[in-house]
Amino acid sequence: MATPINLGFARIGAKRELKKAIESYWSLKTTAEQLLSTARDIRKRHWSWQSEAGIPEPPSGDFSLYDHVLDTAWMFDAVPSRFRDLNLSGDLDLYFAMARGVAGQTATQALEMTKWFDTNYHYLVPEFTGAENFRLGRNPQVEAYREATALGLTARPVILGPVSFLLLGKARQTHADRAALLDRLLPAYEELLRSLAAEGAVAVQIDEPVLATDLDDAARALLTKAFTRISKAAPLKILLATYFGPLRDNLEHALHLPVHALHLDLVRGLEQFDDALQLAPKSLTLSLGLIDGRNIWKADLTRALELAERAADRLSGDRLMVGPSCSLLHVPIDLSNESALPPDIKDWLSFGRQKLAEVVTITRALNEGRSAIRAELDANRDSLEKRRRSELVHNAGVGTRLRAIRNTDFARTKTFDERKPLQQAALGLSLLPTTTIGSFPQTEELRRERARMRKNEITAEEYEGFIHQEITHAIREQEKLGLDILVHGEAERNDMVEYFGELLNGFAFTENGWVQSYGSRCVKPPIIYGDVTRRGTMTVRWWQFAQSLTALPVKGMLTGPVTVLQWSFARDDQPRRDTCFQLALAIRDEILDLETAGCKAIQLDEPALREGLPLRKTDGPEYLRWAVDAFRLATAGVRDATQIHTHMCYAEFNDIVESIAAMDADVISLESARSQMELLEAFAGDRYRNDLGPGVYDIHSPRVPSSEEMLGLLKKALAVIPAERLWVNPDCGLKTRAWQEVTPALQHLVTAARSLRQILSGKAGRI
């Protein structure tokens, strides 16, 4: 008998119940007991959904109040000393202190946060000094297992594997040796497994997602050591879960680890399927990740079933499991909560609960024969066929236009050196131009008016009048501050992707399609279901209004094609590259319309460019090629005198600086204040030759830096970038800040730029 499984479920709740409970606890409106009781209710509900769907051993321990990597550190007592010294009243507050830091006189910094592999989920980075005494300090796993048992369920505990845990962490102070750390860590894992077995567990899932990344021999040896040890710790059947990509050079190694079963992501890693079937030892059960845990499309059941049947031909039925490709953490919970999606489109989708039904359907066909699911297969084929043929999806004009793209469409007609003087003349620029990244504070009032507009409580004209007021305010402030290139302030935008998605064809929006981003924060990614076209101009009227108020140049402001793609659920019926190019063409039209309206500087933000990098180094160049091409396709249609800006947020740029240079934006602004300009090193020498604005104002903090401090940062920047190519700007957009912080901070920024101009012209001081 093949078994249907699930690797993990979303925690946040179908209507974000957990978010609300956590934030209410943080703001002291509710007690710890109330929070824990809501969390229990959510777990109970999610377990019952899973078991009703037909998953016999739903996962336990996959829930978290913040993040599962933090939970692992917490469980094994890897609590950095700065938190231990805090003397907080309760355990829960210590846990949240690690997640969020503690404000106060001697502020305690939270654990760092970073992206969970190539998803949009963020985990907290465990810190290792090398002197840890890992121990099973707390046992939330046994508690969760008991909770499930009390509900009459047999759960399969899900545990982050020891090697992934260590490799995801970072060694502070000392370069703690991974092998030595593993030796210290394994006894704690052994104890955990023994405690679960003692509780009655028969199987556990241990996740080692690092197996889908580039590993060296030493790291593979750590896996062997870890699994050899923990497989002997207790009589538990271990399901080793891998996901997010094919194992490639790690496949053979993984197949021979001493575990009961190995889970493979066959959505992203179908290429490993045949090898896995061939090479799997006789004793190994294979778990087939056939249903996409990263995207929201209905599965092709016939195709998934064919794969499952091929596996069943080679392995006997009881050596087979069927599941989603990865945890369902990365998709919204329940499609049935969507009432506003166009019915045609809704029929093509599948969220967490629907995906479990798909898993169970495939497994039934394996166990009972295809005839048992005839109706489901027919309905599925029918729905897929409708999607394939739908006029909502296909727009012949888009295809024609894509095929007609020529090489020259990707390139500006003149080189940067030739363009620069033309642009300086057009914009009236001199040394060290000052500008901002685009958004100005989104006030309470602004959010309120937008909500009222959406509820039809105010008319479109009233809303527009309100936005005009905001733009006017932003322009007047910037003029007073003495900035050189102004922005309209993005008051009309709720979100830099959603705003454009709503104005483009090919996008759909959900009411409850929330996915956890980090902690209590969720995002509701748009769904790109069809060929992308522009219904009309998207930003021109706001820009025009702003420009009508001032003689200074106002920058046009757009989100780049790669970022829109990265932060949406993308089509799975064509390569991501194609979707990205479609977006690029729509944006290209908008850029040209801005230019025609008289806009002389246009910024295309690409904060997600780097995060789109694939997990494996060897896959990087291909992605970067089309991502850079998409940017160039969007921007290269402008005249030489039109200045193209781009912006990227925090990122290590060292390994991609050639690609950034290849984008050929005239100016790039980056976050660099927080790193004290360290990030700039990547741009030294002639690796990058265009203009650059390293942020001198850290907008993530309410602190207002002095002009001396910003001047200091600018002087540091001069060591890398010559003054003729240097811009002066904040780290990022200002929408999360308040005007009373922004106004003085920008005043200091302009003062710093002016002082440096004076110094450089020899009129004051020396560098």
Residue 200 burial (CB count, 10 A): 11
**Residues with catalytic function:** 700
Instruction: Tell the smallest beta-carbon distance from residue 668 to ligand GLN (Å).
Output: 12
CA atoms within 13 A on the CB side of 422: 17
Closer residue to ligand GLN, CB minimum distance, 181 or 491: 491
Residue 649 touching ligand GLN (CB under 6 A) = yes
Q: Report how far residue 628's alpha carbon sits from residue 625's, in angstroms, rounded to the nearest whole number.
A: 5
Residue 204: name the closest of 174, 170, 227 by CA.
227
By Cβ distance, which residue is nearest to Zn ion? 732
Taking CB under 5 A as the criterion, the residue among 14, 148, 732, 734 binding Zn ion is 732
Closer residue to ligand GLN, CB minimum distance, 269 or 695: 695
Residue 69 touching Zn ion (CB under 5 A) = no
Q: Report how far residue 199's alpha carbon sits from residue 191's, in angstroms, rounded to the nearest whole number.
A: 12
Q: What is the DSSP letter of 285?
A: E
Going by DSSP bridges, is the β-strand pair 515-518/521-523 parallel, antiparallel, or unpaired? antiparallel
Closer residue to ligand GLN, CB minimum distance, 433 or 556: 556
16 binds, among Zn ion, ligand GLN, none (CB under 5 to 8 A by kind): none
Instruction: Tell the smallest beta-carbon distance from residue 207 to ligand GLN (Å).
Output: 30
Residue 748 touching ligand GLN (CB under 6 A) = no
Instruction: Tell the smallest beta-carbon distance from residue 673 to Zn ion (Å).
Output: 12
Q: Report how far residue 642's alpha carbon sits from residue 638's, in angstroms, rounded to the nearest whole number.
A: 6
Q: What is the DSSP letter of 600?
A: -
Apex CA 87: angle with CA 83 and CA 93, to 5°? 70
Taking CB under 6 A as the criterion, the residue among 126, 352, 607, 694 binding ligand GLN is 607
Closer residue to ligand GLN, CB minimum distance, 61 or 695: 695
Closer residue to ligand GLN, CB minimum distance, 12 or 732: 732
Taking CB under 6 A as the criterion, the residue among 647, 725, 737, 748 binding ligand GLN is 647
Closer residue to ligand GLN, CB minimum distance, 347 or 606: 606
Write out the DSSP string of 524-563. Answer: ---EEEEEEEESS-SSHHHHHHHHHT-SS-B-EEEE-HHH
Q: Site size for ligand GLN, by CB under 6 A?
A: 13
Closer residue to Zn ion, CB minimum distance, 126 or 607: 607
**Which residues, including other chains, have CB under 8 Å from residue 104's CB and lie 6 or more apart?**
none
Cα 26 from chain centroid? Answer: 24
Amino acid at 672: S
Apex CA 522: angle with CA 516 and CA 523, to 5°? 105
Residue pair 503/589 in contact by the 8 Å Cβ criterion: no
Stretch that binds ligand GLN, among 71-79, 283-291, 467-475, 727-735 (CB under 6 A): 727-735
Task: For residue 638, give Cα distances in angstroms to 288, 346, 707.
Answer: 49, 39, 36
Taking CB under 6 A as the criterion, the residue among 206, 301, 311, 557 binding ligand GLN is 557
- Within residues 474-513, the interface with ligand GLN by CB under 6 A covers 490, 496
Closer residue to ligand GLN, CB minimum distance, 127 or 605: 605
Instruction: Tell the smallest beta-carbon distance from residue 519 to ligand GLN (Å).
Output: 19
Q: What is the DSSP letter of 290?
A: E
Residue 439 touching ligand GLN (CB under 6 A) = yes
- Within residues 132-151, the interface with ligand GLN by CB under 6 A covers none
Q: Report how far residue 362's alpha carbon sits from residue 322's, in angstroms, rounded to the nearest whole number.
A: 8
Taking CB under 6 A as the criterion, the residue among 733, 742, 752, 755 binding ligand GLN is 733
Residue pair 249/209 in contact by the 8 Å Cβ criterion: no
Residue 604 touching Zn ion (CB under 5 A) = no
Stretch that binds Zn ion, among 51-59, 620-628, 683-691, 727-735 (CB under 5 A): 727-735
Where is 82: in which H helix or E strand?
A: helix 81-84
Taking CB under 5 A as the criterion, the residue among 99, 193, 649, 710 binding Zn ion is 649
Where is 598: in which H helix or E strand?
A: none
Taking CB under 6 A as the criterion, the residue among 437, 584, 710, 717 binding ligand GLN is 437
**Location of structure tokens 């575990």:** 259
Task: Give me the residues that bind ligand GLN (CB under 6 A), please.
Answer: 437-439, 490, 496, 557, 605, 607, 647, 649, 732-733, 735
Q: Which residues of this chain interact with Zn ion, rule CB under 5 A?
A: 607, 649, 732
